[in-house]
Amino acid sequence: MRIGIALIFALSLFTTASVASAAFAETRSEFAERMKTSIDEVDREIAELKEDLAKSKKSAQADMQEKLKDLQTKRDGLAADYKKFEKASDKAWDRLKSGMEKALKEVKSAYSDAKEEFKK
């Protein structure tokens, strides 16, 4: 009887670990999808800003180009981090995740700055 209980306990631990591992993979997958969607969104926003730049007054274009360049640089950094993330081991992805979250915030901030400059 004790062996049966011990076996059931061991199997329940294994099953719990397997479920946790599957949830971990889903979380990573969901995060990857969110980052990919965010990068695509930033690409659309950059394209819109470039259109606005082309329509703007020449006197305002230098400042606008600087903001756009900053945004593009931050976007490229996020995309590079995403490529590293795709290749990362399960152990490394959590560390990369926090860095990507920070990079995404910086990209969003740069977009807000650029958008404000374009409103002037």
pLDDT in tens, the chain (120 residues): 455 454 454 445 544 444 444 444 458 889 999 999 999 999 999 999 999 888 888 887 888 899 999 999 999 999 999 999 999 888 888 788 889 999 999 999 999 988 887 777
Domain limits, the chain: 28-119
Residue type, 20: A
pLDDT at 22: 45
Alpha-carbon distance 96 to 111, whole Å? Answer: 22
Cα separation, 104 vs 36, whole angstroms: 11
What is the DSSP code (8-state) at residue 120? -
What amino acid occupies position 50? K
Distance CA 100, CA 80 (A): 10
**Whole-angstrom Cα distance, residue 49 to residue 67?**
10
CB 114 within 8 A of CB 49: yes
